[in-house]
Amino acid sequence: MSKNEQLVVNAIRILSAEGVEKAKSGHPGMPMGAAAMAYAVWGKQMKHNPENPKWPDRDRFVLSSGHGSMLLYSLLHLFGYGLPMEEIQKFRQFGSLTPGHPEHGHTVGIETTTGPLGQGIANAVGFAMAEAHLAEKFNRDGFNVVDHYTYTILGDGCMMEGLSHEACSLAGTLKLNKLIALYDDNEISIEGSTDIAFREDVPTRFRAYGWNVIDVPNGNCYQQVNAALRLAKGSDKPSLLVCHTAIGYGSPKAGMASAHGEPLGEANIQATKEALGWPCMESFEMPNEVYEQTGIVVEKGKQQEQEWLDLFANYVEAYPELAKEWEVWHDESLPFDPMKEEDLWKFEGKAATRNSCGEVLNRLAAKLPNLFGGSADLAPSNKSYMKGLGDFSAEDRSGSNLHFGVREHAMAAICNGIALHGGLRAYCATFFVFSDYMKNAMRMSSIMDLPVTYILSHDSIGVGEDGPTHQPVEQLAGLRAIPGLIVFRPADSREMAAGWVCAMTEKHPTALVTTRQDLPLYEGSGANALKGGYVLSDCEGTPDVLLMASGSEVEQCMGAQELLKQDGIKARVVSMPSFELFDAQDEAYKNSVMPNEVRARVAVEAASSFGWGKYVGLDGATVAMETFGASGPYKLLFPHFGFTSENVAAKAKSVMKK
């Protein structure tokens, strides 16, 4: 054991405890227990150059136990990622680089935002899938330009979450051998010993998933962990290192639930320093040897990146076409102008938007070979399959279509990992109602501003016979309320194309919400939909009433406009595929679509009216779903729940009387 290496391990422990102490809040126990694991990864095995945290072929590290953020901040500081000690001292303070949970995009070197348990391990599976697919695409004999591992540390909390089951079962099926998970097995949870709620045999569970499981009897010893990491690298399966650790290792609170989520107290920190033989008495004081030791790692990392740069330079010469593709794949902007691609917008006749969605996806896939996605076992229904592009599997990494199994939550979190990795455009698909299952992962897409595309088909009572459990009602409102997520519910095939253009060009995540049933194709629909709301069918002069709808209910508004016209009433139909895009327009445009003086307004949507109030105001009305749906053919359900042109017209007249 190298004295200096052990010093770095203890530095992580001490620094983490001191950061929490200064903040007077946080989680000291996890970083102290996981310090040796983290050092074995960061100091011994991980390929990284702290001076260039964006090096594409770096190994990835994911702290799935995000509450242990001080572990990550200690590592970033000690290993020279440019996180100064002053920021460590501002842990959990407003405006600091060291927030309560690690935030990707906020602090350099953080690969993903974690905190909600289970998300990180699923992101890690996404990283490993991206690596495998890109390696298959770009590597050539002697040119392994994509060749890196994904490491993740997770604890009992992640293990209990269903998300870890979904992600790890899939990882085993796919034999993602470059995924190495370190399980911080400390037997402590917030309510006490894990024994009260969690007695499962985790190693056996992971063997059942097809993982390579390695027991590390003393997870507080970096050398034992390092030896296990070496073994893991030789496996043809994903590896789980079961590291037996003590929460709050080194402190008098070691092994206790109270070490989890509160500062240790100054006296306990002093006792810890004594127990670990720590040479510095001052807070945040580090012996020079610590930085000398991590400096060796930085040097090695710089050298590794240089070797890769040399390799890549030769690759560019040897495979200029591939190198050009590499550039395109790693550029987030579109390699063509979608407005000029006439074929993208060409449709004829009626179509369910799920079908036109699949059509546009396939048109795009022909131009964007780095599309990488699939469905949670519903590809035939939500039309999310890219024809002729193969299936990604344990045996074949070249396929672009993913089979997630019935695992919605992991699907979304994996797509976050794929998007974070870079090089690929991630999408996923399920029934709209099952967005419920992946809600938090969709939130994480938004928090990180990842351009993940969500295809959410079967979007209303239009689902029909499957009944209320399968008919979304509140999901539009729920997703529209997420900051940064663009919810796009097209009224016809051309609006559908606009939705895809939005998804491929916005930095934000986009949810494409599609019908099961056929919809008309409207004159004048198309790229206008990118404004979120627009006048699809106008009347002459100032309208008496505005009829607004998204998706399939535009049809009832168009019918109502016609009926009202017969009664001499001027109605304007506003198609509103996306609240978010509309709200982002300037006031003049918004007022041109919905003039402030026109207060007779009716919004129509086969979903909860919740959220439409901002457009219809106190004097308007909605035709919407205020209950759950019912099982039956949709052609009966629509009139039953009031979605007819006649009812919309009647509602319009009633608001005009107000």
**Closer of 247 and 625 to its own copies (Cβ):** 625
Q: Least distance from C-beta 549 to its own copies, angstroms?
A: 16
Q: Which residues pair with 573 in a beta bridge?
A: 537, 547
Are 176 and 417 in contact by the 8 Å Cβ rule? The answer is: no
Distant-in-sequence, close-in-space partners of 150: CB < 8 Å, separation ≥ 6? 59, 60, 61, 62, 124, 127, 128, 131, 178, 179, 180
**Closer of 149 and 211 to its own copies (Cβ):** 211
Distant-in-sequence, close-in-space partners of 484: CB < 8 Å, separation ≥ 6? 446, 447, 449, 508, 509
Exposure of 541 by Cβ count < 10 A (0-12 exposed, 13-18 middle, 19+ buried)?
exposed
Q: Least distance from C-beta 284 to its own copies, angstroms?
A: 19
Q: Which entry of 18, 103, 408, 553 is annotated as an active-site residue?
A: 408
Tokens of residue 490, six digits: 């097209």
Tokens of residue 255, six digits: 């092994």
Q: Least distance from C-beta 211 to its own copies, angstroms?
A: 10
Distant-in-sequence, close-in-space partners of 83: CB < 8 Å, separation ≥ 6? 73, 76, 77, 97, 98, 107, 108, 109
Maximum alpha-carbon separation in the chain? 90
Q: Least distance from C-beta 161 to its own copies, angstroms?
A: 6
644, 654, 641, 569: which is closest to 609 by C-alpha?
641
**Closer of 492 and 580 to its own copies (Cβ):** 580
Distant-in-sequence, close-in-space partners of 601: CB < 8 Å, separation ≥ 6? 545, 546, 548, 594, 615, 616, 617, 619, 620, 621, 655
CB atoms within 10 A of CB 281: 8
What distance in Å separates the CA atoms of residue 77 and residue 83, rounded to the nearest whole number? 5
Q: Least distance from C-beta 208 to its own copies, angstroms?
A: 4
| Per-residue exposure over 231-241, b if at least 16 CB sit within 10 Å of its own CB, e if not | ebeebebbbbb
Q: Least distance from C-beta 152 to its own copies, angstroms?
A: 17
Tokens of residue 323, six digits: 């190198």
3-state secondary structure 55-119: CCCCCEEEECCHHHHHHHHHHHHHCCCCCCHHHHCCCCCCCCCCCCCCCCCCCCCCCCCCCCCCH
What distance in Å separates the CA atoms of residue 484 and residue 526, rounded to the nearest whole number? 23
69 torsion bin: left (phi>0), alpha (psi -120 to 50), beta (else): alpha
**Closer of 49 and 430 to its own copies (Cβ):** 430
**Closer of 172 and 642 to its own copies (Cβ):** 172
Q: Least distance from C-beta 106 to its own copies, angstroms?
A: 9
Q: Least distance from C-beta 422 to its own copies, angstroms?
A: 22
Q: Least distance from C-beta 634 to its own copies, angstroms?
A: 10
| 197, HSE (Cβ side, Cα atoms, 13 Å) | 10
Question: Is-catalytic flag, 553?
Answer: no
Q: Least distance from C-beta 65 to its own copies, angstroms?
A: 11
**Closer of 51 and 187 to its own copies (Cβ):** 187
**Closer of 452 and 616 to its own copies (Cβ):** 616
Are 627 and 544 in contact by the 8 Å Cβ rule? The answer is: no
State the angle between helix axes of 353-365 and 493-505 in degrees (0 to 180), rounded to the nearest 10: 50
**Closer of 195 and 292 to its own copies (Cβ):** 195
**Closer of 34 and 145 to its own copies (Cβ):** 34
- Coil, strand or helix: which one is 601? strand
**Closer of 311 and 389 to its own copies (Cβ):** 389
Distant-in-sequence, close-in-space partners of 205: CB < 8 Å, separation ≥ 6? none
512, 513, 522, 611: which is closest to 559 by C-alpha?
522
Task: List active site positions.
Answer: 408
